[in-house]
Structure 1
Amino acid sequence: MPTKESNIVKRTVDLKNPPPLTAGQKARLDAVAAMPDAQIDDSDAPFLPDAVWTKAAVQLPHTKRQITLRIDAEVLDFFKHTGKRYQSRINAVLRSYVQAHKAHAK
């Protein structure tokens, strides 16, 4: 399969060495940290099910195979509405699920 040029830029964040926060960011974090949990508005936070595999990795594998897969319309619509590269996000969720189940099988 021929390769094609891509304008995708991959970035990673070193969690052991995060970028510095601005003074405004620090002030906002301090204000939220001082609030009781009941006062924090989390209504815009996405729903995260209590599953081990909810932390889907963004790291993409080097090789993929093209297949035909039937997915519920509701699931497909959800991922399509998240924007471009929705297929990569579906793959990341599935990969995370597989890794979680492999870890539990050991």
Structure 2
Amino acid sequence: MTAKYPVKQDFQPGYGYSKEDWDSIDSPELTDEEMARLRPAREVLPSGFFEAVNESRKARGRPPMQQTKKSVTIRLDADLYEHYKAKGDRWQTQMNNDLRKLAGLKAYSGGRSPG
């Protein structure tokens, strides 16, 4: 089994544990017999554990916005694309704002456009 994260083979200070903590751990690799006896977490842990994990994951990240943008693919003339791209990092927002004006839609007044 390959470790997902680098495994430290020797003590390195600055990771929240002492040299004594490091030395007190004796964790040999699992034998083939032990590996064969392992069972999936869903068979061993109560379902409430997984429900709590899922709820915790839902709570992370950016809160949902009321109005979100729709991701689309659009083909543009090269010179039009270069014109907006030259405006910098927020060129897509600028294009969105210009299209709203041309369509006669109300401009977003929240500083940054929604979504």
Both structures adopt the same fold (TM-score exceeding 0.5): no
**Scaled by the length of structure 2, what TM-score is found?**
0.33
Rg larger in structure: 2
Higher relative contact order (CA 8 A, sep 6+): 1
**Scaled by the length of structure 1, what TM-score is found?**
0.36
